[in-house]
Every structure is written in C-alpha cells, then in structure tokens.
Amino acid sequence: MLNLDEVIYHKTGTWPSYSSLSLEPSLVIADFMRKIYVEGVFVEIRKIMTEYKDCGGVGHVVLISICSAIDSLSAYVYGGGGNSSRFTNFISAYFPASYKGKEDNIYKSFRCDGVHGWNLHKSIISGAVNDPKHLSFNDGIIYISLYDFFNDFVKAFEKYYQELIIENNIKGNFLKRYKEVRQIDAY
C-alpha cells in the first residue's frame, strides 16, 4: 500500500522517451506511473489538504484536482472513448464498492459542474475524515468527504498500479496513451 506520509516532494525529473518504454520490464512502466502520481499528484493534493485542515475555502480546488487526476489516469487505463465513460468506468473498476451506482452522479456533480462551472450546486463537500455521510444523497444532492474521496482515490490508484505491473493489456493502454501525451509535449 502507498504510504503518502513517507513521500518526499520533489519535481519529477525528465520523462523517459517513449522508445525507452516497452512491455518488459513491466516494473519500469509501473514505477514511472507511480512516480507521477505518488511524488507529484498526491503530494500536491495532500499539501493543500494539510495546509487547509478542514479544506475551508479550498474545497473546490481539492475536488477539481482529484477529478482531474482521475480523468488523466482513466485515459491511461482505458485509452480512447469519451471522458464520461473513462471516468465512470475507472470509478466502477477501482474505487470501493460504496461508489457503485453513484459514478454518474460523481462525474456530473463533481467533475463536470466543478471543472466547467466552478459550481457544486448539486453537491455538498465536507472536510471531515471518515465521514458517515460520505456518498449519501438527500433530495438529489450528493454529499462527499474530500478526505475520504482522496483516500479512496489513492487506494484506487494502488489497485491500478498492481494491475499495471502484471497485465499486458493494461500496459499496452498505458503505452498508447503515453505516446499520445509525448507527441503533444513535443509540439
């Protein structure tokens, strides 16, 4: 399991060229993806959450960051397809069972409304840890704990990371997306 308390923040170094990544050894691929998320994404989100203990005033920033990270990772997992299907499929496959049946609500209420409208009018966000209301609904409004959502995302990443090490189709999707991203970077 990833222990984010032991991660030391530093800027990610030079990304390896696509040609240096192959299906074997699989640990090169998995370690590279882990470095991006554990030493970059998770540390940055954790820094904001630590500085603003109850996430007061920065809840949107934290939520958008988590949703953007899920968006990005789901593109590596599933490759093509629309954002909606990749995002919801990632939550279905990798998040805890308590998220089942709520994927579309999370996508629409948090990812879309938060990212595109800076508006969470169909949701309530909380800075509580182990919040019993997490993922509950009341009058069509979904309630989410940022800490619980973040911790569940870290666990989802760990589950994906384990698959990336051993499953060739997962590695193939990762390489395909990585090649696309590197072409954009080169532009």
Is 131 domain-assigned? yes
Number of domains within the chain: 1
- Is residue 56 one of the residues assigned to a domain? yes
Q: Which residues of the chain have pLDDT under 70?
A: 1-29, 52-57, 80, 119, 182-187
* 13 located within any domain: no
Is residue 37 situated within a structural domain? Answer: yes
**pLDDT confidence of residue 8:** 32
Phi, psi of 174 (to 5 degrees): -60, -50
pTM of the model as a whole:
0.79
Confirm whether 91 is domain-assigned: no
Q: Tell me, what's the pLDDT at 180?
A: 79
Domain that holds residue 129: 24-79+99-186
Do the domain assignments include residue 4? no
> Is 60 a domain residue?
yes
Residue-level pLDDT at 86? 92
Is residue 126 a part of any domain in this protein?
yes
* Half-sphere exposure at residue 88, Cβ-oriented, CA atoms within 13 angstroms: 16
* pLDDT of the residue at 91: 96
What pLDDT shows up at residue 139? 84
